[in-house]
A and B are shown apart, each in its own frame.
Chain A
Amino acid sequence: MRRRAAWLGIAAATLACASLATAAVIQQGNLRITVLSQIQPYKLPRKGTAPIAVFVSGHLSTPKGGIPAQLQKLTVKVNRHGLLQSKGLPVCEISQLQPASTERAMQNCGDAVIGSGQFWAHIVLPDQGAYPTHGRLLIFNSRKNGKPVLLTHIFTSNPFFSSFVISFAIRKTKGLYGTELSASLPQALGSWGYVDRIKLTLKRKYTYKGQHLSYFNSGCPAPQGVPRVVFPLALASFDFAEDISLTAKVEKACAVKE
């Protein structure tokens, strides 16, 4: 009986989360991108930030069929009310990740992990039928030239043992979006990789010098007297081969935590 109640609880929580998730769909020609995102918790402080977990799912599709154009560059701008906090978090070097299986990557850099997920892609070679590949994905805190970067480690055992690392540069920007993450994909994925879908959960809480910290933090930018607000969480720009560029704005709702 207790077990059944637990299952019902999980189902109810899942439904609640789903209701909070928002989707952005953009299309140009035969290329459609669906971005599904969610942050937790729903209630966030009006002033300052609180630890959050971010779930992101990106799906590239072609309504008329075929394989999507090749994604070459991905830029994500995060609302200035969001904060990436890596102070005191262990750092992982790219040499510790490449090449490595997921297990080996966790062995080497488990204390620097800040997120995980899965990816799906097609490998398309000239005069050759495309074949799908699918693998696990880990995101690690790292630094390059003294500046923070995110290392996305991708490992697939299907069909072959293969791993590669995508490095997201992080920089501060001015305006509505205070942080920008950008990565160039072909260098890591090879010239023939066509990403179809990525699913990510970004969440890392850690303790540093007795302080409880989180890598991902956010506040709720609701004006005084307004208990809830919908705000632009992120702006994702996708640059594809053949000069195709698409931008998706991801909006989220939050409530003020009193």
Chain B
Amino acid sequence: MADEGLTNPTGIANSDIRKTVVTLPEGFSTNPSLAEGLEVCSEADLARETAKSAPGAGCPNASKIGTVEVETPILDENVDGSLFIAKPYENPFNSLLALYIVIKNPTLGIVVKQPLNVIPDPVTGRLTTVAENLPQLPFSHFTLHFREGTRSPLASPPGCGTYEAKAELTPWSGGPPVTTTSAFQIITGPNAGPCPSGGLPPFRPGLVAGTLNNAAGRFSPFNVRLFRTDSEQEFTRFSIKLPPGIVGILAGIPYCSDAAIARAQARTGPLGGHEELADPSCPAASEIGHTLVGAGVGSALAYAPGKIYLAGPYKGTAFSLVAITAGVVGPFDVGTVVVRQGFKVDRETAEVFIDATESDPIPHIIKGIPVHARDIRAYVDRSKFVFNPTSCERTSTASTLLGSGLDFGSLADDRPVTVSTPFQAADCAALKFEPKLSLQLKGGTKRGAHPAFKATLKMNGGPEKGEANIARAQVTLPRSAFLEQAHIKTICTRVQFRSDQCPAGSVYGFARAYTPVLDTPVEGPVYLRSSEHQLPDLVASLHSDKITVDLVGRIDSLNGRIRNTFEAAPDAPVTKFVLTMQGGKKGLIVNSTNLCKGKHKAIADFTAQNGKVSNTRPEVTAKCARAKKGKAKKQKRRAG
């Protein structure tokens, strides 16, 4: 402010400024990286700032984020000052973000202390700084210099272009405020790189995932890390598909209730994050891991730890994970951040995945502070929870991440990018494979009868049990079992099956599988479902409160004998599997001979996930009446 009136006797002095409102251009925001290692200046600290106080005697040195230089016509020399971060919620504005300017000259005994209220736009993060009741001191130049580098308090927008800051200056003289603007250009991208083409930053996120110990069938923590660089689009949402066979023991783990999650979500006050740290909303019994989210721009990020809990149904999924993060970074507490991810299990492959559509978006802005999440880590490390596949096939963890596009607030321009990271379990050969199958025909044993059929498979399945899971199961019935074609009446079409609208008449049996993964068995009807094969498929639609798995069996023949093949059983542990097919009018099998005469053997060929095979010829048993002892003795005597 040129103030000729102070230096020229004929000039007219300008009024001093009473209030400034400075609005930075949109895209400029606070940098969360600032918070790491930052201290704050309390009102008591500020009170200790005197003209002669040494640096750090008042506001801590670690709370200083910039410098001030004032040139005034009434002094021969410039006066320097510092810019400090005020203690959140314990400052004159009772706000999250506030600054103190402390200008002093020990020689002249000058000290000026000025609080600044920083108001971030809750939607865009655009910063407006308000200083009121400025001292009536004339100055010609006032320079405020924010610290640059890795812990810079300000983050610039990722796109190049011309940006304009605006200042509204209100004089002490009582006149109307004067508005002034200043435009400047950003001509390079982050880290002095090129400007993003078309203004749209690239999006090439990275993924690292896997278990710490990859021994097949063994427990091991599973870690996932998603990351991006400064120059890339922000994350908005993500999906993750775990490698086939990576399973968690859900049995015995209670859900964190919706009420508890709501309590966490309500912790948005000034100490919301601290409240969550002191008294977690979800019970420890539900905890399955923890998170670490790195936010900010530049090479150093601010990390906020959180916890992962098992939770109930969410957005149509049977169960979910909830990541609860106490938003406490350095001196700031932005409350508790809750992100819930719907967990899905593929019906046919039993692969486990998180789908973006059934999950919460990654928070972009919290209390006006853009998060700039760049490094998201999830450690699923509950003891004896995650265990490895029993297949040593090379697989991968795949993730589809959505970049924010040009407009973070709009999902329409989100850019999906799929990344994957290889995964392969080891030492599969050490796992044995000893399935035990028993087959029974129940009901009529005579020729022409339609008996019910029961197959019971027992295995020593489960983590640390040393047995590989089944990959393929093929059972060929004895020659005595004819197909009763006339009993194939109602069939569930694939369209009906997809919409869970199979007619009741298409149910021909029932199946139940016991797994150590779940508290309850998975069980459900067995349908005849139309297929691309000659006969309809035999589909066991197995349900529990957490998962639905369809076990698809192809029916064909081996030299005329009925054969069923479950071609792709999921790599999941099973201790017992029972398949029961109805008899009588819905019996698909008709005896072509009296079952009580002779032995009737099936062919059972099983392949394990580790490639081992088991080929047996189990006898199909039937309940045959024994000859009465007395009658047998009589016959013996006559013969004798």
Say yes or no for B485: interface residue by CB 8 A criterion: yes
Closest chain B residue, CB of each to CB of A94: B448
A98-B448 in contact (CB<8A) = yes
Given the known interface contacts A127-B495, A128-B491, A128-B530, the answer about A101 and B485 at a Cβ–Cβ threshold of 8 Å is no
Chain B, Cβ-Cβ closest to A163: B482
- The reply to whether B482 and A159 contact each other, CB–CB distance below 8 Å, is no
A99 touching B447, Cβ below 8 Å: yes
Q: A95-B448, A128-B491 in contact; A164/B485 too (CB < 8 A)?
A: yes
Q: Which of A95, A158, A188 contacts B486 (CB 8 A)?
A: A188
| CB-defined contacts of B590 to chain A, threshold 8 Å | 99
Q: Tell me whether A104 and B560 are in contact (CB under 8 A).
A: no
Determine whether the beta carbon of B485 is less than 8 Å from that of A123: yes
Number of interface residues of B (CB under 8 A): 32
Complex Cα spacing A187 to B489, Å: 11
- A 113-144 to B, binary, CB cutoff 8 A, 1 in contact else 0: 00000000001011111010000000000000
Q: In the complex, are the beta carbons of B557 and A159 less than 8 A apart?
A: yes
Chain A: interface residue total (CB-CB under 8 A): 28
The smallest beta-carbon distance between A39 and chain B, in angstroms, is 33
- Complex Cα distance, B483 from A160, in Å, reads 7
Q: Does A189 contact B (CB under 8 A)?
A: yes
Give Cα distance in the complex from A220 to B161, angstroms. Answer: 108
Q: Does B522 contact A (CB under 8 A)?
A: no
Asked whether any CB of chain A lies closer than 8 Å to the CB of B410, the reply is: no
| CB closest chain-A residue, reference B486 | A190
| Contact between chains at B530 and A125 (CB < 8 Å) | yes
Q: A126-B491, A127-B494, A161-B562 are contacts. A99–B448 as well, Cβ < 8 Å?
A: yes
Tell yes or no: B500 within 8 A of A by CB: no
Residues of A within 8 A of B593 (CB): 104
Given A161-B561, A193-B485, check contact A104 B530 (CB 8 Å). no
Docked pose: A159 CA to B535 CA in angstroms: 10
Alpha-carbon separation in the docked complex, A187 to B495 (Å): 28
> Counting CB contacts under 8 A, is A245 at the interface?
no
Return chain B residues, CB-CB under 8 Å to A193: 485
Q: Given known contacts A128-B491, A129-B532, is B560 in contact with A158 (CB within 8 Å)?
A: yes
| B534 located at the interface, meaning its Cβ lies under 8 Å from any Cβ of chain A in the complex | yes
A97-112: CB near B (< 8 Å → 1, else 0) gives: 0111100100000000
CB distance from A64 to the nearest CB of B (A): 25
B560–A99 CB distance below 8 A = no
Contacting residue for A128 out of B536, B591, B592, CB 8 A: B536
Q: Which residue of B lies closest to A156 (CB)?
A: B560
Nearest A residue to B450, CB-CB: A99
Smallest distance from the beta carbon of B63 to chain A beta carbons, Å?
71
Q: Is the CB of A125 within 8 A of B557?
A: no
A160 vs B559: C-alpha distance when bound (angstroms): 8
Task: Determine the distance from Cα of A157 to Cα of B592 in the docked complex, in whole angstroms.
Answer: 13
Q: For chain B residues 489-532, which have a beta carbon within 8 Å of chain A?
A: 489, 491, 493-495, 530-532
Which residues of chain B are within 8 angstroms of A208 by Cβ–Cβ distance?
Answer: none
What is the chain B residue whose CB lies nearest that of A191?
B489
Shortest CB-to-CB span from A100 to chain B, Å, is: 6
Contact A161/B447 with A99-B482, A125-B536, A126-B493 known, Cβ cut-off 8 Å: no
Q: Is the CB of A127 within 8 A of B530?
A: yes
Residues in A with CB closer than 8 Å to B530 are 125-128
| Residue pair A160, B486 in contact (C-beta under 8 Å) | no
Report yes or no: B532 in contact with A157, Cβ–Cβ below 8 A.
no
In the assembled complex, the Cα of A60 lies from the Cα of B485 at a distance in Å of 22
Instruction: Provide the residues of chain A in CB contact with B561, threshold 8 Å.
Output: 160-161
Q: Is the CB of B592 within 8 A of A104?
A: yes
Query: How many whole Å from B543's CB to the nearest CB in chain A?
Result: 23
B485 contacts A161, C-beta separation under 8 Å: no
Provide the bound-state CA to CA distance between A163 and B491, in Å: 21
- How far does the alpha carbon of A164 sit from the alpha carbon of B488 in the complex, in Å? 14
Q: Mark A144-164, 1 if CB is under 8 A from B, else 0.
A: 000000000000011111111
Q: Does B556 contact A (CB under 8 A)?
A: yes
Identify which of residues 183-238 in chain A touch chain B, using a CB-to-CB cut-off of 8 Å: 187-193
Is B113 in contact with chain A by the CB < 8 A criterion?
A: no
State the CA gap A101–B560 with chains docked (Å).
11
Q: Which residues of B contact A129 (CB under 8 A)?
A: 532, 534
> Which residues of A, 20-53, contact B by the 8 Å Cβ criterion?
none
Are A161 and B493 interface neighbours, CB within 8 A?
no
Contact across chains for B448 and A162 when beta carbons are under 8 A apart:
no
Q: List 12 A-B contacts (CB under 8 A).
A: A95-B448, A99-B448, A100-B447, A125-B491, A126-B493, A127-B493, A129-B534, A158-B557, A160-B560, A161-B481, A161-B557, A192-B485
Q: List 6 tightest A-B contacts by C-beta distance, closest first.
A: A157-B560, A127-B530, A127-B493, A190-B486, A131-B534, A160-B483
Q: A160-B482, A161-B592 are in contact. List 19 more A-B contacts (CB 8 A).
A: A99-B482, A100-B447, A100-B592, A126-B530, A127-B495, A158-B560, A159-B534, A159-B535, A159-B556, A160-B483, A160-B535, A160-B557, A160-B561, A161-B557, A161-B561, A161-B562, A162-B482, A189-B485, A190-B485
- B positions within 8 Å CB-CB of A: 447-448, 479, 481-489, 491, 493-495, 530-532, 534-536, 556-557, 559-562, 590-593
